[in-house]
Amino acid sequence: MQQVDESGASHRSGPFADDKNRAEKSPPTSIQPNVIPINGHQTKIERHPAPPADLGPGLTTPKADAGESQEPKGGSPEVARGVYSQREAFLAKREAEGELTFRYVENDGTPDNNMWLISLKNTISKQLPNMPKEYIARLVMDRRHRSCAIVAKSGTVLGGITYRPFHAQGFGEIAFCAVTAMEQVKGFGTRLMNHTKTYARERDHLTHFLTYADNNAVGYFAKQGFTKEITLERKRWVGWIKDYDGGTLMECVINPKLPYTDFPTLVERQREALDRHIRTLSRSHVVHPGLTSFAADSHHHLSVSSIPGVKEAGWEPSEDSAPAYRLSIERVMLPPTPENLQTLMQAAWQALLAHEDSWPFREPVDPEDVPDYYDVITDPVDLSLIKKRLDSKTYYVTLNIFAADVNRMCANARVYNNAETIYFKLANRVEDFFEEYLHLHLVYEGK
C-alpha cells in the first residue's frame, strides 16, 4: 500500500500487514502467482506521523505538485502556460541538454542497471527511515520488478518509481515512489510518473496501474490521473495484488496515444488550433487604435456605432437600445433627444435650487468650517458643480449620469453626518423631491 503525504511523497506501509489481509481468491495456477513478499510475514512497523516542518517519513515527490492548479503571476506567454506546463517544459529542457535522464531499469545483471538500482535503493532507504532496508532492497532488486530512475549527469539517482508488472494481466502495481529532498518543489514527481507511464506502456505493454493509497496518498495519485473507480476487470487483478485494511485501491488507465512526456507541446498545439478556429468566427483578436474623443479639451458625445470594431463585432442598433420613456416638459410629451434632455435637466436643477431644503447643497462645503470633510468625502458634489457640468453640455450625455450626481450629493451628506443631524434629514428630503420630480416628468412606454 502506498502512503503518500500531502506533498506527494509515497512509501510502502502495507507489505508488513498480516497475512489475514490477503485476498481470499488465489491466482490461476496457469500463471505464476505474485510470490514477492509484498504481503510479508514480518511484524508491522509502527507508522509515525510526519512532522509539521518535514515532508513526511520518506522521500517525496515535490510539494509543488499540490499547487499545480494555481496560475502564476505575470503576463508573458511562458507564464500563461501555467505552472504544470512550465515545470514540464523546464525539465524537458534539462533532459534535452543532457543534465537529466529518466532510465528504465531492471535487474538484468548489467553493470549500469546494477549501479542505478543500488543507488535508487539507497535513495529510497534514506527517505523511508522506518522501513527495513532489507525489504526495500528485496523489492527494488527483484528481477520481476521494474523501475524508472531519475539519473543526473553525474550518475546520481535523484529518485524513481518501482513497480511490479503483471504482463499476462496487463497491469502493474506501484511499490515505491520517491524523489530526493534536494530536487523537491520542481515538478520531478509528475515528470517521473509521466516517464513511468510511457515506459510501462511501451516496454511492458501495460494498460493499467493499480496501487493502494491511504488518506494522505489519494490527493497525490489523483493529480497523476489515478481514480478510485476501478475499470479493470476484477478477474485480471483480484488475487494478484494484496488487499490492505484502511487503504484505497486506485487505478490509472494508461492511454495508448497520449504523449505523457510531451504534454506542454500537446496543450500548446491544441490552444493554437482552438485560437485559429475562433479567429474564423470572431474578430475579437483585432486591435483598433485608441479613441481620441476623451482627450483633453475634446469632450463630445460619442455614438456606439461610431466606435471602430463595434459593428464588425455584430452590434446592431435596435429599438431595445433606445430609452423606453418620453419626457413631459410643460405638459408636452417629447422624445428624449439630447436637446430635450438638456432642457429637462436644467429645469430639474432650477427646481432643486429653489427647494427650501436645498440650502446646504448650493455651494461646496468650506474646509475652513469643516476641516476634515474632504478627508471623508473623496467625491464631493454640490449644486454649483452640477450647474457647471450642465452648462458644458458634454458631461451629462444621459439622464442617468445627471441623476447619479444628484444622488451622490445627497449620499455624501448621509455619509459624513449622523442620522440625527439636520443635514442628514435634509439630504433625504432633497432626494425624495428629486425622485418625485423625475416621476412626474418621465413617462415610460407601456405604462
Q: Which amino acid is at 445?
A: E
Higher pLDDT, 186 or 408: 408
Cell of 433: 423631491
Residue pair 220/65 in contact (Cβ under 8 Å)? The answer is yes
Say if residue 48 is in the same domain as residue 183. yes
Q: State the Cα–Cα distance between residues 197 and 158, nearest whole angstrom.
A: 18
Q: What global pTM score does this model have?
A: 0.53
Quick one: pLDDT at residue 36?
Answer: 33
Which domain covers residue 222, as residue numbers?
A: 2-268
Q: Is residue 357 part of a domain?
A: yes
Cell of 214: 491511504
Say if residue 153 is in the same domain as residue 219. yes
Q: State the Cα–Cα distance between residues 15 and 36, nearest whole angstrom.
A: 10
Say if residue 236 is in the same domain as residue 349. no
Q: Is residue 219 part of a domain?
A: yes
For residue 303, the Cα-to-chain-centroid distance in whole angstroms is 39
Q: Is residue 303 part of a domain?
A: no
Average pLDDT, the chain: 80
Q: Is residue 170 part of a domain?
A: yes
Pairing of strands 146-152, 157-166: antiparallel
Quick one: pLDDT at residue 323?
Answer: 60
Q: Is residue 361 part of a domain?
A: yes
Say if residue 243 is in the same domain as residue 122. yes
Which range has highest mean pLDDT (244-253, 310-319, 327-336, 356-365)? 356-365
Average confidence (pLDDT) over 15-35 = 34
- Residue 355: which pLDDT band, with cuts at 50, 70 and 90? very high
Q: State the Cα–Cα distance between residues 287 and 47, nearest whole angstrom.
A: 61
Say if residue 78 is in the same domain as residue 222. yes
Higher pLDDT, 365 or 40: 365
Q: Is residue 115 part of a domain?
A: yes
**Mean pLDDT lowest for which of 11-15, 137-141, 146-150, 341-345?**
11-15
pLDDT digits (tens, 9 = 90+) for 315-333: 777 644 556 788 988 888 9
Q: What is the CATH number of the domain that holds 417?
A: 1.20.920.10
Domain final residue, candidates 206, 235, 268: 268
Domain final residue, candidates 268, 289, 304: 268
Residue pair 37/256 in contact (Cβ under 8 Å)? The answer is no
pLDDT of 1 strictly over 60: no
Say if residue 253 is in the same domain as residue 354. no
Question: Out of 173, 229, 356, 436, which one is annotated catalytic?
Answer: 173
Q: State the Cα–Cα distance between residues 30 and 137, nearest whole angstrom.
A: 29
Residue pair 60/126 in contact (Cβ under 8 Å)? The answer is no
Say if residue 71 is in the same domain as residue 213. yes
Quick one: pLDDT at residue 81?
Answer: 67
Q: Is residue 312 part of a domain?
A: no
Quick one: pLDDT at residue 66?
Answer: 37
pLDDT digits (tens, 9 = 90+) for 363-388: 999 999 999 999 999 999 999 999 99
Q: State the Cα–Cα distance between residues 26 and 242, nearest whole angstrom.
A: 11
Domain final residue, candidates 268, 293, 309: 268
Say if residue 216 is in the same domain as residue 68. yes
Say if residue 102 is in the same domain as residue 194. yes
Which range has highest mean pLDDT (62-66, 87-91, 417-421)? 417-421
- Number of structural domains the chain divides into: 2
Catalytic residue list contains 173: yes
* Helix pair 399-416, 338-354: axis angle to 10 deg: 30
Q: What is the CATH number of the domain that holds 264?
A: 3.40.630.30
Residue pair 183/174 in contact (Cβ under 8 Å)? The answer is no
pLDDT digits (tens, 9 = 90+) for 138-175: 999 999 999 999 999 998 999 999 999 999 999 999 98
Count of Cβ atoms closer than 10 Å to residue 191 Cβ: 28
Say if residue 326 is in the same domain as residue 213. no
Q: Is residue 248 part of a domain?
A: yes
Say if residue 158 is in the same domain as residue 76. yes
Say if residue 239 is in the same domain as residue 338. no
Pairing of strands 332-334, 146-152: unpaired
For residue 281, the Cα-to-chain-centroid distance in whole angstroms is 27
Average confidence (pLDDT) over 291-300 = 67
- Residue 87: which pLDDT band, with cuts at 50, 70 and 90? confident
For residue 406, the Cα-to-chain-centroid distance in whole angstroms is 43
Higher pLDDT, 63 or 269: 269
